[in-house]
Amino acid sequence: MGRDVIIACDFASKEQVFEFLDKFTGKKPFVKIGMELFYAEGPEIVREIKARGHKIFLDLKLHDIPNTVKKSMAVLSRLDVDMTNLHAAGTVNMMQAALEGLTRPDGTRPMLIAVTQLTSTDQESMENDLLIKQPIDEVVMHYAANAAKAGLDGVVCSPLEAGKVHDRCGKNFVTVTPGVRFADGDIGDQKRVMTPAAAKEIGSDYIVVGRPITAAADPVAAYERCCSEFIG
């Protein structure tokens, strides 16, 4: 498994995403397709981006009963994505069912990673809305350990947590980290950010970068800068 930069293609339509991807005439970046684009354009958008030679992280964050997740993962696996995800809050059983669904008849499967606690959930909302009283850092680490126990490949986490996740779950357990900003860039609505170089230093395996690339005056140059800082 190699370190890589994943571009968050948070666009609302096929036209916008293709206008963006057409700029990349050299290396085809690994891209993340989220709910907005997937729900707007359907599974065909995944096939079309794949056919252009990109690796795809399909970020749909499944969370349902194990049987439903298993069957849905089988469908996503047939789309030939490279990475997909679910909520660890769905339990170890649900994560194991997801892995079974994702595994193709020939034994191959996309990487499966878990969302622990969304970064939009803080200690107060976790205690008041979810009735979870433990410190949020412990909850995040416990969910990561559950994902490892279920056999998943890794978790989405803040780059600030990547080192701790590796300590708890092993260095081969993958960390996929959003919240990345250039040292001289806007942080936007991200609260806790890290530069690509710092994310490399702390041991992130994949960084997910959206606006610092998609909203840059020269997206290809911004992507290349990210790759050189993170991959070297």
Binding residues for ligand C5P, rule: CB under 6 A, are 8, 10, 34, 118-119, 156, 178-179, 188, 190, 208-212
206 backbone dihedrals φ, ψ, rounded to 5°: -135, 135
112 backbone dihedrals φ, ψ, rounded to 5°: -120, 125
Retrieve residue 46's tokens.
Answer: 């995944």
CA atoms of 142 and 123, how far apart (whole Å)? 15
Nearer to ligand C5P, 125 or 190 (CB): 190
Nearer to ligand C5P, 14 or 211 (CB): 211
Retrieve residue 105's tokens.
Answer: 């008849």
- How many beta carbons lie within 10 A of that of residue 15, not counting itself? 10
Retrieve residue 43's tokens.
Answer: 């599974």
Query: Hey, is 156 helix, strand or coil?
Result: strand
Are 173 and 188 a contacting pair, CB within 8 Å?
A: no
Query: Hey, is 193 helix, strand or coil?
Result: coil
Active site residue 61: yes
Least distance to ligand C5P from the beta carbon of 34, Å? 5
Least distance to ligand C5P from the beta carbon of 32, Å? 6
Active-site pick, 27, 50, 61, 149: 61
Nearer to ligand C5P, 70 or 208 (CB): 208
Nearer to ligand C5P, 21 or 66 (CB): 21
Nearer to ligand C5P, 39 or 65 (CB): 39
- How many beta carbons lie within 10 A of that of residue 164, not counting itself? 18
Quick one: which of 127, 130, 164 has its CA closest to 145?
Answer: 164
CA atoms of 35 and 42, how far apart (whole Å)? 10
Query: What positions carry a catalytic annotation?
Result: 61
